[in-house]
């Protein structure tokens, strides 16, 4: 049984969640509190398997409480947050602080929404129960990159050497991607990323990373060129592929049905690269639940593309890397902190 504790200032939400969660045979409703100040001693007395946490609450906001909890006694946490502009920004901060997942909730029609979204919510809680909570990265000033970002000179090297790096990730991936990108220089190879995220989150996620990393990071648009010093993040709710034209790679962003239950899908990105590359590329599979990307990585591996999977010890959820390894799609398994050096080594091969 997965013990779930709810912290939300709305009595309607708490009551609705209790009814929804009690209907699942694998979940036990372990209690609820209207705010973090009341929840804290209850959690110390009886630690749940998963914490379902609201953001906007009186007394202490959910983000402050999450950071405090992760520092003192980490609990796998799912954020249930509004997808307003401010709510999305705070939810991203929560993912950076160590939350496993975010479930969107509207400001109006909340009870009906929770009932309609029961499957998504229960799935997020079960995923979180399998996760290994990790401390979030320390907050960084938004202007940190101003002192480290340098313009990429469009010389012979930048124009002729076009060796793309593709990355796929899901649960726990927001932190993992941030750790990798913070370690890369401004002229690192172009990187295309699929991170499973809700539609309204990816643009803000890219903006957040762009403010703290040396590389230029943006939510991909159809036709964007993948060049040195640039990171393209697939927009939530759309698939991203890579096309090659005149020796250069371009993003093709379009709608379509979910693949492996995801949109964007890692498999869509990886398989598109398999149809465009001559083998001079690098594919990386990071933490995440499920098997999205495993088959695409196998295609790349069979073409001679170098493939790397994050190791179990450093993953929040060792699902996607494990499935790729089982398919024989991975050349090397390594801890998260070794991946920036692997990208640099790949780039230095010439």
Q: How far apart are CA 210 and CA 216, in angstroms?
A: 6
Q: How far apart are CA 220 and CA 234, in angstroms?
A: 5
- And the tokens for 125? 């809680």
Q: How far apart are CA 289 and CA 167, in angstroms?
A: 15
- And the tokens for 275? 């149809």
Residues catalogued as catalytic: 170, 196, 292
Nearest-CA neighbor of 320 among 176, 132, 179, 169? 169
Q: How far apart are CA 21 and CA 27, in angstroms?
A: 6
Q: Cα-flanking dihedrals φ and ψ of residue 165, to 5°?
A: -115, 130
Angle formed at CA 136 by CA 192 and CA 7, multiple of 5 degrees: 115
Q: Is 146 helix (H, G, I), strand (E, B) or coil?
A: helix
């Amino acid at each position: 049984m997965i013990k779930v504790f709810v912290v939300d200032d709305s009595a309607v939400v708490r009551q609705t969640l209790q009814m929804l969660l009690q209907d699942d045979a694998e979940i036990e409703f372990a209690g609820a509190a209207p705010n973090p100040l009341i929840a804290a001693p209850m959690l110390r007395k009886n630690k749940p398997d998963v914490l379902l946490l609201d953001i906007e609450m009186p007394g202490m906001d959910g983000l402050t409480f999450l950071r405090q909890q992760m520092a003192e006694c980490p609990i796998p946490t799912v954020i249930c947050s509004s997808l307003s502009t401010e709510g999305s920004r705070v939810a991203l901060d929560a993912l950076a602080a160590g939350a496993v997942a975010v479930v969107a909730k509207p400001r109006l029609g909340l009870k009906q929404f929770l009932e309609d979204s029961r499957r998504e919510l229960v799935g997020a809680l079960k995923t979180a129960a399998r996760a290994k909570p990790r401390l979030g990265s320390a907050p960084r000033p938004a202007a940190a990159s101003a002192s480290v970002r340098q313009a990429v000179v469009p010389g012979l090297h930048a124009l002729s050497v076009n060796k793309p790096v593709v990355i796929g990730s899901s649960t726990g991936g927001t932190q993992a991607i941030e750790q990798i990108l913070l370690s890369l220089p401004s002229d690192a190879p172009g990187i295309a990323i699929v991170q499973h995220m809700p539609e309204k989150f990816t643009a803000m996620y890219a903006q957040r990373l762009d403010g703290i990393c040396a590389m230029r990071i943006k939510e991909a648009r159809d036709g964007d060129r993948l060049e040195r010093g640039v990171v393209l993040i697939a927009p939530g709710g759309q698939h991203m592929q890579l096309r090659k034209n005149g020796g250069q790679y371009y993003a093709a962003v379009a709608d379509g049905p979910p693949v492996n239950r995801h949109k964007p899908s890692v498999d869509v990105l990886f398989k598109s690269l398999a149809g465009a590359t001559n083998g001079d590329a690098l594919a990386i599979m990071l933490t995440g639940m499920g098997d999205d990307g495993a088959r695409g990585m196998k295609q790349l591996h069979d073409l001679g593309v170098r493939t790397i999977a994050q190791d179990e010890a450093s993953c929040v959820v060792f699902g996607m890397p494990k499935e790729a390894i089982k398919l024989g799609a991975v050349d090397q398994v390594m801890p998260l902190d070794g991946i920036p050096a692997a990208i640099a080594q790949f780039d230095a091969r010439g």
